[in-house]
A = this chain, B = another copy of it.
Amino acid sequence: MSDNSLGRSLVMVSFGESHGNAVGVLIEGIPAGTEIDEKRINEWLARRKPSTSLASTKRKEDDIVEILSGVYRGKATGAPFVAIVRNKGYVDDFYSFAEEGWVRPGHADYPAYVKYKGFNDPRGGGRFSARITVGFVIAGAIAEEILKPLRIEVVGYTKSIGPIECPDLDIENARKRYEFETRCPSAEHDALMQEEILKAKREGDSLGGTIRIITGKLPVGLGQPVFSSLDSELAKAYFSIPAVKGVEIGAGFRASKLRGSQNNDIYVLRNNEITTLTNNAGGILGGMTNGQPLIATIAFKPVSSIYKPQRTVNIKKMEEGILQLKGMHDACVVPRAVPIAEALTYFVLADMALRGGFISER
């Protein structure tokens, strides 16, 4: 309802900067009595931690949630929930280039400086850091709990990293994603992806990739029509993750090449229940779930902060130059983005479940 909020019946407002006191989230609309388990939230947070393998940033983020309001004796009270994670383990010195006026190619540095007249917090990217997704993940943990009565499970996995692409997996095979460094639950592709990341890392470069989101069968009718269609809200949420440049539902861009007779998912009856023979729709028709699994694919550009020297400009001095970054930057954020994409999917589904009366606030 505001610039930094997502959702309508379940609303989260994201706040915090990378090197400020804390990052966090405020959530309204959690039904009173929902179990709020700090341990479970911390498990979610652990999933977005940098990999212990060589592939990732050296910044240590031992993120432990602190709940400030909205919980009493382990249950949601119905009042606004606020939770934070304190920022630590960062080094401001790495960001002297920003103070000097150098803007990173491909990063928000330049538009943020103009938009906020230089008042934005430049340290660690400030508000434009992937660190703010800590709040998204906390919200996802809550949303997962809210959705329990509907038995909704969301699974995301790394579908590709750079040129390495894993085949489509069903939810059973994808579920073990967190046992793999790259969150690609195919041992073979996980190994290839790790290799690719390490190679890019050695070269001071970075990689993009894609994440696939799948769910089990969903109730029919989640999603409001037109501007609050389920696909609209999911896309809005996914594009809020830093580095996302594309979103597909179901067959996505591939569907644009198909004939209607090929793309339409034929309805059939199985055990007196309506189901479809295919799922090109990715579970969404007219902005609403049709009962089939939700399928979404999210494209991430390669991380813009690379160690290779890059040409750029200094916006304070208005001169060109070469920027050589220091600091702690992931060579590939895709594996860390898996729990973030899952969290946002849970959140949007929970909001829709509440909007549509699938879960009662009473």
Interface range on chain A: under 10, 10 to 19, 20 to 34, or 35 or more? 35 or more
**Residue pair B111, A261 in contact (C-beta under 8 Å):** no
A287 at the interface (CB under 8 A from B): yes
Q: Is A69 an interface residue when CB atoms closer than 8 A count as contact?
A: yes
Flag if B267 contacts A68 (CB, 8 Å): no
Nearest CB of B to A307, in Å: 9
User: Is A90 positioned at the interface, with any CB of B under 8 Å from its CB?
Assistant: no
Report chain B residues within 8 Å CB of A220: 110-111, 114-115
Please give, as numbers and ranges, the residues of chain B lying within 8 Å of A4 by CB-CB distance.
Answer: 28, 79-80, 224-228
> Is A355 positioned at the interface, with any CB of B under 8 Å from its CB?
yes
Contacts of A237 in B (CB 8 A): 227, 232
B68, B104, B250, B268: which contacts A15 (Cβ < 8 A)?
A: B68
Which residue of chain B has its CB nearest to the CB of A34? B119
Given contacts A21-B67, A260-B303, list 11 more A-B pairs with CB under 8 A.
A5-B227, A15-B81, A22-B68, A24-B82, A82-B82, A106-B281, A162-B256, A235-B238, A245-B250, A258-B301, A260-B308
**A26 with B28: CB separation less than 8 A:** no
B-chain residues with CB within 8 Å of residue A304 when the two chains form the complex: 260, 263-264
Query: What number of copies of this chain does the assembly contain?
Result: 4
Chain A contacts with B in 145-160, Cβ cutoff 8 A: 160
Most chain B beta carbons < 10 A, residue from A13, A28, A205: A13
B299 touching A252, Cβ below 8 Å: yes
For A298, the closest partner residue in chain B by CB is B256
**Contact between A3 and B8, CB atoms less than 8 A apart:** yes
**Which residues 231-258 of A have a CB within 8 angstroms of B?**
231-240, 242, 244-253, 255-258
B33 and A259 within 8 A (CB): no
A359 to B299, CA, bound (A): 33
Q: Are A68 and B24 interface neighbours, CB within 8 A?
A: yes
The one of B17, B208, B253, B291 in contact with A245, judged by C-beta atoms closer than 8 angstroms, is B253
Asked whether B252 lies within 8 Å of A246 as measured between CB atoms, the reply is: yes
Instruction: Give the residue of B29, B107, B116 whose beta carbon is less than 8 angstroms from that of A2.
Output: B29
* Chain B binder among A47-55, A173-181, A185-193, A311-319: A311-319
Q: Is the interface of A mostly helix, strand, loop or mixed?
A: mixed
Verify A256–B120 contact, CB threshold 8 A: no
Chain B residue, CB-CB nearest to A163? B257
Q: Which of B3, B33, B303 contacts A226 (CB 8 A)?
A: B3
Complex interface residues of chain A between 271 and 286 (CB less than 8 A to chain B) = 272, 274, 276, 280-282, 285-286
Q: Tell me if A264 and B361 are in contact (CB < 8 A).
A: no
Is B79 a contact partner of A111 (Cβ separation < 8 A)? no
Give A357 Cβ to nearest chain B Cβ, in Å.
4
Is there an interface contact between B318 and A111, defined as CB atoms closer than 8 Å?
no
Contact of A119 among B11, B32, B160, B250 (CB under 8 A): B32
Closest to A72 in B: B121
Q: Which residues of B contact A104 (CB under 8 A)?
A: 264
A210 at the interface (CB under 8 A from B): yes
Residues A17 and B69 in contact, CB atoms below 8 Å apart: yes
Judge whether A171 is part of the interface by a CB distance below 8 angstroms.
no
